Amino acid sequence: MDNRQKEINNLKDYKYGFSTDIENIQAPKGLNEDVIKFISNIKKEPTWMLEFRLKAFERFKVLKEPDWQKPKFPKIDYQDLYYYSAPKSMKDKPKSLDELDPKLLETYKKLGIPLQEQARLNGIAVDAVFDSVSVATTFKDELTKQGIIFCPISEAIQNHPELVKKYLGSVIPTSDHFFATLNSAVFTDGSFVYIPEGVRCPMELSTYFRINASNTGQFERTLIIADKGSYVSYLEGCTAPMRDENQLHAANVELVALDDAEIKYSTVQNWYPGDQDGKGGIYNFVTKRGLCKGKNSKISWTQVETGSAITWKYPSCILKGDNSVGEFYSIAITNNHQKADTGTKMIHLGKNTKSKIISKGISAGNSDMTYRGLVDISSKAKNSTNYTQCDSLLMGNKCGAHTVPYIKNKNSESNIAHEATTSKISEEQLHYCQQRGLNPEEAVGLIVNGFCKEVLQQLPMEFAVEAQKLVGISLEGSVG
Amino acid sequence: MKEQLQKDFYNSIKNLSLSQKDIEIKKFCLDNFIDKGFPNRKEEDWKFSDLNQIIKNNIGELSFYNDQTSTNKVDTSVFVDGLEHNKIVFINGRIEKIDFEYEKKDQIEIIDQSETINEFKNSNSLSDLNNAFTNKCFKILVKKGYQLVKPLIIYHTTNSKICAKNINLRLNFELDKDSSLRLIDLFNDASEKNFLNIFYNFELKENAVLKNYKVDKFENKNIKYSFNNIDQDKNSISETFILSSGSNFSKNEINCNLNGVYASAFVNGVFSLNNDKHHEIRSIINHLTENTKSYQLIKSVLDESSKAVYQGKIFVNSDAQKTDGYQLSKAILLNKESEFNAKPELEIYADDVKCSHGSASGSLNEDSIFYLMSRGLSYQQSRELLINGFLLDVVEKITDSEIKNLIKNMLGIKE
C-alpha cells in the first residue's frame, strides 16, 4: 500500500471526531438577559460591554430568523442551547502553559496543534479556542516586542478597552441581521489582533476553534485591526466531535484595514459534516465582513469549506477607501448530505476600487451547493472594476449546483465582468489520467486539485498542503 | 384601492354572460389580488423594480373598469407598410379585428375562450388581476402541419381617450404538430399613464416552430407588464426577441418549459433606453428532460438616467442530462446616472450538462472610439457606429430575414 493510500485510509473517517471528557462550567440553558449577564460577569467585563450585549439582545428579540437561504433546516430552539461552556480548569486563568489542564494539551496535540512553542517548527502563533474560552495563545512575547497585540478578545476587553470600544461593532453593528445580532449579544471568546502602524507581522497568526461540549452553541468573535501601512496574515481552522445532534456555530469576524494596510484572512473549515445519512453535523452560520477603511488598503479572504452540515456565509468587503482592493477566493466542497450556501459581497464605495472573486464549487453525493454573491458599484465609485468567476463541478445526478449572483452597476465609468460555468469532469480527462496509471480516485483528486488550483495558491504554505489533502479526502467514495 | 377594485369588478362582470361558477373563480382571483396587491421589492422577482411604487409615482389612482361596449375606429395608418401580414388589432384593450386574410381558412381556428378561465401554473398577483378583469379571451389554433404563409402582427394600440386605466389582455396559442407561426407584437401608444397587463400562453406540439418578436419602440408614458408562458414538446423551437425601448416602464417575463427531448428555446433582447425609463427582462428556462437546449443574449445601451434589469434563470432538472444552456448579458452605460442590474442564475441538478453564463457592464470603450476618430470619424459618428454594432449582434440573431430587416429599420441600423 503506498503512502497516499495509507493516508487516505487514516483520514477516511472524520479523524477529529473524538470528544474530550472534561469538567465544564456552563451557563444555565436558554437565552435571556440573565444568561447574558452571567457571561459578562464570568468574564469580568466592564459595564459598557454588558450594555453592548444587552442592546444587541433588545434588537435580537424583534428580529426573525431569515428563511431565504437554499438549504432548509429544522427550526432551531434557541432556548434549548447552552450559550456558555468552559473547562472548569479555566476558571482561574492559568498563567502559563505548564498550569494548563493536561487534558486540554492532549486534545490539541491530537488535533495536530501542539501548544508548546518548542514543538512548533513552522513559527505560527496560535490562539486556541475551546468551546467558549480561549485556552492558550502562543508566541505572545515575541509579538509584543513589535507592539502587536494578539490575545483572546476577552483579555483585550480588559487590557485594551480603547481599541475594542472603537472598533467592535464598527463593521458588524449590533443592529445587523439575526445571527450576527445573536452573536453580539452572547459572544464568548475569540481572537483580537492589532497590528501597529508600519509593522509587518513577522509570522502567521492563527486561531484554532474547537467545539467540545454537546448542546452548546459556539459564538466567537474575532476582531482584526491593521493600522496604517501594516500587514497581517491570519489563519483559522476548526473541528468538532462527531455527534448526532446539530450544533450551531454563529461567529462574527470583523476586519478593519486603515490606510495602506493589508489583511489576508484564510479559513480551512472542517467542522464535523454529519454522517453519510446526513445525521448530525455543525450549522456553520458565520458573518464575516471586512472594511477597507483607508486609502490603498486591501482585504483578501480565502476559504476552503469542506466541513459542516450546512455552511451559510458570505465573507464580504466594504471598499470604502479610495484605491482599496477586495479579494475573495473560495473552494467549497459538499459530499453526502452536506449543504452550502456561500459566496461574497463586494461593495464598492470609494474611487478606483477593485475586487476579484474566484469561487470553485464541487458537489457530490446527495449534496447541494449554492454560490450567492453581490457586486454593487455605487454611483460614487468611479473607475472601479470587478471580475467574478464562479465554476461548479457536479459529480453524480443526485447533487445540485446553483449560482445566484446579483450584479449592480450604477456607475458608467466602472466595469463589471462575470462568468460562470457548470459542468462535470470530462471523460477524456479521466481517461487520460487513468491511461497513465492513476486509479479513478487519484485521477479525480488530481483533476479537482487542478480545478481548485487558483484558490489553493492563495493559501499560506502549510495550509495549502493540508487543504490539498482535504480536497481529495472530502470526495472519497464519490467516484465510481 | 380595495373599494375601487370591487366597484370596478362588479361593473365589468355586469356586461358579461358568465356562469355562477366562472364568477366565483373570478371573484377568488380578485380577492387574491386584493390580498397581495401589486408586487413590491419584498418579492424576489421584483427586487429591482417595485411595481407598486412605480404605479403610485407614475399613475396615482388606477381605475380597473374599461367600458368595452362601443367599438373603436381602426386607424389603418399604424399598419406596417411593405410587409404583407395577418392582423389582430387591440384598441384600448378591446379586440377590434382578427384578420387572417393570407391563410387557408380551414387551417386556423379561432376559439372564443372568454367563458373558460384557465389558471396559470405559476400564478402571481398580476395573473390574478388578469384573471379577474379580462373579459375576452381567444385561442388561436394552428392545425397540424400548417405553416402560416405570412407573419401575424398583433397591434396593441391605445388612444388618448383612456388615462389612468388598467388594461388586461390574454391570448392563447396552440401550435399543433409540424406547424409554425411568426408573431410580432407591435405597441403603438398615443395614451399615457395606463398600466397594461398582458398574458400569453403558447403550447408547442412536436416539431412546432414559434417565432415571437415583441417590439416596444415608440415613446410613450405607459407602464407595461407582459408574461409569456411557453410549453414545448419534442423537437419544437421557440424564438423570442424583445426590443424594449419605448415605454416608461416595461417588464417582460418569459417562462419556458422544455418538456420534450431536443426542444430548444432562444431568448434575445435589446434594451435601448433614455430618460428615466426603467425596463426589465426576466427569463426562466426550465430544462425538464434530456437533450434540450437554450440560448439567451441580452444587450443594453443605457443613456441618461435610465435603468435596465436582466434576471435570467436556467433551471436543470435531475432528469435533464445533456442540457446545453447559455446566457450572456452585456450593457453599455453611457451616462453616470444610468444603471444596470443583473441576476443571472443557474440552478442545476444534473451532472452531465454544459451550462454557463456571463455578464458584463461598463462604459463605451474609449480605445475603440479613438481608433475610429483617428480614421476621420467624428466623436458622435464613432459612438453611433459602436453602439449600432453592439446592438446589431442581437438583431442578427433573428432567424427571419423579412422581420430582421423590419426591426433593423425601426432601430435605424444600417449595415
C-alpha cell at A439: 486509479
Find, in chain B, the residue whose alpha carbon is nearest to that of A403.
B346
How many residues appear in chain B?
415
Alpha carbon separation from A321 to A292, A295, A373, A406 (Å, rounded) = 6, 4, 21, 23
State the average pLDDT for chain B: 90
Chain A hits for B360, CB-CB cut-off 8 Å, are: 415-418
Grouping H, G, I as helix, E, B as strand and the rest as coil, residue B334 is coil
> What whole-number distance in Å separates Cα of residue A408 and Cα of residue B248?
21
Q: For residue range B167-217, what is the model confidence (pLDDT) as tens digits?
A: 999 999 999 999 999 999 999 988 889 999 999 999 999 999 999 999 999
Q: Please, which residues bridge with residue A150 across strands?
A: A193
Q: Residue B339: pLDDT above 60?
A: yes
Alpha carbon separation from B202 to A60, B205, B229 (Å, rounded) = 49, 10, 6
C-alpha cell at A433: 489520467
- What φ, ψ does residue B104 adopt, rounded to 5°? -70, 125
Please compute Rg for chain A using Cα positions.
22
> What whole-number distance in Å separates Cα of residue A112 and Cα of residue A466?
11
> What whole-number distance in Å separates Cα of residue A150 and Cα of residue A173?
23
Give the residue among A258, A357, A283, A281 at the shortest CA–CA distance from A315.
A357
Chain A hits for B356, CB-CB cut-off 8 Å, are: 419-422
* DSSP notation for A182-237: HHHHH----EEEEE-TT-B-SSEEEEEEE--STTB-B--EEEEEE-TT-EEEEEEE
The pLDDT value recorded for residue A95 is: 62
State the smallest CA–CA distance between residue B12 and chain A in angstroms. 39
Grouping H, G, I as helix, E, B as strand and the rest as coil, residue B281 is strand
Return the percentage of chain B with pLDDT > 90, whole number: 63
* Interface test with chain A among B280, B302, B327, B351, by most A beta carbons within 10 Å: B351
Helical spans, DSSP H, in A351-460: 427-435, 440-456
Q: Looking at the complex, does the CB of residue A407 fall below 8 Å from at least one CB of chain B? A: yes
Range name among A241-245, B1-5, B264-268 with the lowest pLDDT average:
A241-245
Contact indicator for A340, A334 with CB cutoff of 8 Å: yes
pLDDT by residue for chain A (480 residues), tens digit each?
455 555 544 445 676 777 777 777 788 888 899 999 998 988 889 999 999 999 999 999 999 998 888 888 888 888 888 888 887 766 665 666 666 777 777 777 777 666 665 445 455 677 777 766 666 677 777 888 899 998 889 889 999 999 999 999 999 998 899 999 999 999 988 889 999 999 998 888 888 877 777 777 788 899 999 999 999 999 888 777 777 778 888 999 999 999 999 999 998 888 888 888 888 888 999 999 999 999 999 999 999 988 889 999 999 999 999 999 999 999 999 988 999 999 999 999 999 999 999 999 999 889 999 999 999 999 999 999 999 999 999 888 888 999 999 999 998 889 999 999 888 888 888 899 999 999 888 888 888 888 888 888 888 776 777 778 777 777 766 654
Side-chain-facing half-sphere of A156: CA atoms under 13 Å: 27
Contact indicator for A196, A160 with CB cutoff of 8 Å: no
State the smallest CA–CA distance between residue B394 and chain A in angstroms. 19
* Interface test with chain B among A372, A393, A409, by most B beta carbons within 10 Å: A409
C-alpha cell at B118: 384557465
Beta-carbon contacts of residue A63 (< 8 Å; ≥ 6 apart)? A177, A178, A181
The pLDDT value recorded for residue B331 is: 95
Find, in chain B, the residue whose alpha carbon is nearest to that of A407.
B342
The pLDDT value recorded for residue B236 is: 96
The pLDDT value recorded for residue B119 is: 59
Q: Please, which residues bridge with residue B139 across strands?
A: B111, B172
Find, in chain A, the residue whose alpha carbon is nearest to that of B362.
A415
Question: Cβ of A424 and B336 within 8 Å?
Answer: no
Find, in chain B, the residue whose alpha carbon is nearest to that of A413.
B363
The pLDDT value recorded for residue B415 is: 60
State the smallest CA–CA distance between residue A426 and chain B in angstroms. 9
Q: Looking at the complex, does the CB of residue B341 fall below 8 Å from at least one CB of chain A? A: yes
Cα torsion angle, A65, A71, A74, A79, sign? negative
DSSP H or E segment with residue B330? strand B324-333
Higher pLDDT, B112 or A193: A193
Chain A hits for B350, CB-CB cut-off 8 Å, are: 394, 397
Q: Looking at the complex, does the CB of residue B41 fall below 8 Å from at least one CB of chain A? A: no
Q: Looking at the complex, does the CB of residue A46 fall below 8 Å from at least one CB of chain B? A: no
Question: Cβ of B357 and A403 within 8 Å?
Answer: yes
Contact indicator for B334, B301 with CB cutoff of 8 Å: yes
Question: Cβ of B360 and A416 within 8 Å?
Answer: yes
Amino acid, res. B99 = D
> What whole-number distance in Å separates Cα of residue A292 and Cα of residue A111?
34
Q: For residue range B152-162, what is the model confidence (pLDDT) as tens digits?
A: 999 999 988 88
> What whole-number distance in Å separates Cα of residue B66 and Cα of residue B169?
12
Chain A hits for B346, CB-CB cut-off 8 Å, are: 392, 401-404, 420, 422
> What whole-number distance in Å separates Cα of residue B64 and Cα of residue B76?
28
The pLDDT value recorded for residue B291 is: 95
Chain A hits for B318, CB-CB cut-off 8 Å, are: 397-398
Amino acid, res. A330 = S
Chain A hits for B347, CB-CB cut-off 8 Å, are: 400, 402
Q: Looking at the complex, does the CB of residue B343 fall below 8 Å from at least one CB of chain A? A: yes
> What whole-number distance in Å separates Cα of residue A118 and Cα of residue A124?
11
Q: Enter the pTM of the model.
A: 0.88
* Among A379, A408, A420, beta carbon nearest to B346: A420
Question: Cβ of A409 and B336 within 8 Å?
Answer: no
State the smallest CA–CA distance between residue B5 and chain A in angstroms. 32
> What whole-number distance in Å separates Cα of residue A291 and Cα of residue A315?
11
The pLDDT value recorded for residue A43 is: 86
The pLDDT value recorded for residue A93 is: 59
Please compute the mean of the pLDDT values over residues B258-268 and round it to a whole number.
96
> What whole-number distance in Å separates Cα of residue A21 and Cα of residue B364?
65
Give the residue among B12, B7, B40 at the shortest CA–CA distance from B125.
B40
A90-98 contacts: CB < 8 A, separation 24 or more? A90/A130, A90/A133, A90/A135, A91/A25, A97/A136
* ipTM surpasses 0.90: no
> What whole-number distance in Å separates Cα of residue B60 and Cα of residue B38?
13
> What whole-number distance in Å separates Cα of residue A45 and Cα of residue B272?
60
C-alpha cell at B99: 384578420
- For helices A461-474 and A440-456, the axis angle rounded to 10 degrees is 140
Alpha carbon separation from B108 to B86, B90, B186, B207 (Å, rounded) = 12, 19, 21, 17
